Amino acid sequence: RAKDIPAKIVVLGESAVGKSSLALRFVRRDFIPNQEATIGASFLSRSVSLVDESPPVTIKFEIWDTAGQERYRALAPMYYRGAAGALVVYDITSADSLRKAESWIGELRRNADPQTVVVLVGNKCDLESMRQVSIQQGQDLAEKEELLFYETSAKDGTNVDALFTNLGKTLLSR
């Protein structure tokens, strides 16, 4: 069996948008409510077989979940440097978190490896009644910046596996 292909992924975005919950949903296939705030960054990994590829390949996602607080922002380059993929996460119930996401996209454009595949992620899509950011707004930003785009829910699992599977396919096609 061929070796797993490692892919370093960094998760960026404002505090409380659900970065840790998304990473945990993907890796442990569960929602862990009342997660303690991330200090600095934490590391999680999960291997996923892409059976549609011929020959099938297994990607080992090595996920760096960062802290969104301003005081950790200076550390972010350590995590996005050399990353194959970056998830820039906002919360669909917070217009402010989308503005923060735009600023992360700008920072990645200026400082990250141009090969890094960036995914814009609108999380908490289960909270439809509290929505402040339309799907169209997310899509427009993603189109303008040429990013992959997903709305997800770490809580109910919507689109979480789809996001990583598609990111994996995109990485392979580069």
Which residues here bind ligand GDP, judged by CB under 6 A?
15-21, 33, 35, 37-38, 68, 123-124, 126-127, 153-155
Q: Does 38 bind Mg ion (CB under 5 A)?
A: yes
Q: Which is nearer to Mg ion, 59 or 119 (CB)?
A: 119
Q: Which is nearer to ligand GDP, 35 or 111 (CB)?
A: 35
63 Cβ contact partners less than 8 Å away, ≥ 6 residues apart: 9, 10, 11, 23, 26, 27, 43, 44, 45, 46
Q: How far is the CB of 174 from ligand GDP (least distance, A)?
A: 27
Among 146, 139, 144, residue whose Cα is nearest residue 170: 146
Among 142, 144, 100, residue whose Cα is nearest residue 12: 100
Q: Which is nearer to Mg ion, 57 or 154 (CB)?
A: 154
Which residues are at the interface with Mg ion (CB under 5 A)? 19-20, 38
